[in-house]
């Protein structure tokens, strides 16, 4: 074949080899991936219907069930980031006109409302100040008033660092004949979770927080009552990519093709979950709690306060109140420039009022706590 046309070199970029700085990621996510996870991501590919890969899929599902403490058959990783798994819970179970009650005590309650509204839900809300949590009495009152098909709560609110207690909420939802949906993005793998014991019908998470795997794949679980609602729909799931009646057949016994799975991301997630199983859930939860308490004590010695009441603080993410007269963004910029440490600024109502600091998964280690406290001390003194 002869090339008669000349090649236009205008848009040919002479880019250097990829080189990224060695950041310590102690913000609200992502966290640094464990070296074994990074190694797994670089393994050679097989086909997404290869018998070897199907075995890996089975292992990932078993490990996810362990980490979530559930026996839900539909427990899978969604081939996208955590927001996709968040949307999948609503896309599959909400039909036009369904009342969906959302507990709003932070940024991600608002996101749940927005997503539910796009699927035709009659969205209702109950509110608490950012950083506070709902009591069982408040939730009962909301269910009694609104009689929803779904109650959506953020177990680990990444914008505030508050952990919503879920014990007893599932019993309330059964009493009022509604499904319980839980956002566990910043709690899975770092905070005690007992989905079956607590009666949680649907939950989702992300790979990049306490699992210490890069973002791009997101755990999802649907219990029997959620699957029943999905199967009884009078209309198709309005999101083809996230339709669990089809995706579930790829992850179920049928192994029916739906889309090409992100093979290497599943390698990485499998290794991240293996690390949790090796450590043990109880031991991992205890490690997160111990390192968080070490951090909170260090903050107090620096004269810094936490935004959330101690009994409701997430061990995986702490919101630190910004002292009077301190430029919050200048501090985060200095930490990054001078110490290669990333922390997060406040989000939504806490913008300019708090820093968000993560101690998640692989990063939840005493040496990281001491390093950050020392960097904070140096930066604030200037």
pLDDT at 149 over 60: yes
Q: Give the class (CATH, top level) of 24-30+281-381.
A: alpha beta
The answer, yes or no, to whether residue 181 has pLDDT greater than 60, is: yes
Predicted confidence at residue 240, as pLDDT, reads 97
Q: Where are the domains of the chain?
A: 24-30+281-381, 35-277
As a whole number, mean pLDDT of residues 106-124 equals: 98
- Segment 101-116 shows an average pLDDT of 98
Region 296-301: mean pLDDT is 98
At 187-241, the pLDDT tens digits run 999 999 999 999 999 999 999 999 999 999 999 999 999 999 999 999 999 999 9
| Residue 11 pLDDT exceeds 90 | no
Task: Tell me the mean pLDDT in the region 24-41.
Answer: 97
Overall CATH class of domain 35-277: alpha beta
- Upper half-sphere CA count for residue 69 (Cβ side, 13 Å): 18
Q: What's the rounded Cα separation, in Å, for the pair 66 and 365? A: 23
**Residue 103's closest CA among 52, 178, 154, 28?**
154
Mean pLDDT, rounded, for 296-308? 97
Answer for the pair 249, 256: CB distance below 8 angstroms, yes or no.
yes
pLDDT above 70 for 286: yes
What pLDDT does residue 2 have? Answer: 56
Tell me, what's the pLDDT at 189?
98
At residue 3, the pLDDT reads 56
- What is the H or E stretch that residue 344 is in? strand 344-345
């Amino acid at each position: 074949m002869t090339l008669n046309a000349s090649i236009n070199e205008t848009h040919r970029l002479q880019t250097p080899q990829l080189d990224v700085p060695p950041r310590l990621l102690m913000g609200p996510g992502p966290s640094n991936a464990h070296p074994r996870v990074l190694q797994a991501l670089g393994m050679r590919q097989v086909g997404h219907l290869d018998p070897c890969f199907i075995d890996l899929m089975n292992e990932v599902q078993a490990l996810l069930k362990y980490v979530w403490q559930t026996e839900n058959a539909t427990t899978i990783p969604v081939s996208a980031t955590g927001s996709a798994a968040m949307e999948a819970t609503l896309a599959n179970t909400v039909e036009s006109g369904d009342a969906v009650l959302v507990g709003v005590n932070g940024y991600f309650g608002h996101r749940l409302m927005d997503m539910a509204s796009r699927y035709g839900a009659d969205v209702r809300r109950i509110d608490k100040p950012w950083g506070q949590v709902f009591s069982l009495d408040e939730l009962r009152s909301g269910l009694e008033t609104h009689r929803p098909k779904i109650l959506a709560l953020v177990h680990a609110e990444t914008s505030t660092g508050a952990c919503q207690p879920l014990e007893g909420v599932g019993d309330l939802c059964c009493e009022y004949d509604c499904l319980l949906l839980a956002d566990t993005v910043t709690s899975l793998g770092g905070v005690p979770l007992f989905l079956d014991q607590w009666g949680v019908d649907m939950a989702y998470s992300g790979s990049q927080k306490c699992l210490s795997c890069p973002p791009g794949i997101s755990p999802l679980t649907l219990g029997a009552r959620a699957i029943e609602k999905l199967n009884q729909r009078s209309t198709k799931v309005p999101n083809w990519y996230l339709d669990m009646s089809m995706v579930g057949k790829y992850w179920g016994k049928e192994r029916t093709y739906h889309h090409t799975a992100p093979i290497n991301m599943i390698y990485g997630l499998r290794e991240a979950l293996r690390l949790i199983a090796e450590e043990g859930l109880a031991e991992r939860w205890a490690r997160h709690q111990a390192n968080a308490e070490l951090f909170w004590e260090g903050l107090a010695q620096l004269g810094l306060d936490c935004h959330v009441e101690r009994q409701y603080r997430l061990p995986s993410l702490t919101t630190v109140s910004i002292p009077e007269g301190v430029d919050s963004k200048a501090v985060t910029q200095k930490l990054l420039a001078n110490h290669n440490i990333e922390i997060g600024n406040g989000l939504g109502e806490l913008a300019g009022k708090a820093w968000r600091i993560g101690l998640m998964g692989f990063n939840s280690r005493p040496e990281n706590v001491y390093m950050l406290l020392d960097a904070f001390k140096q930066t604030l003194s200037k």
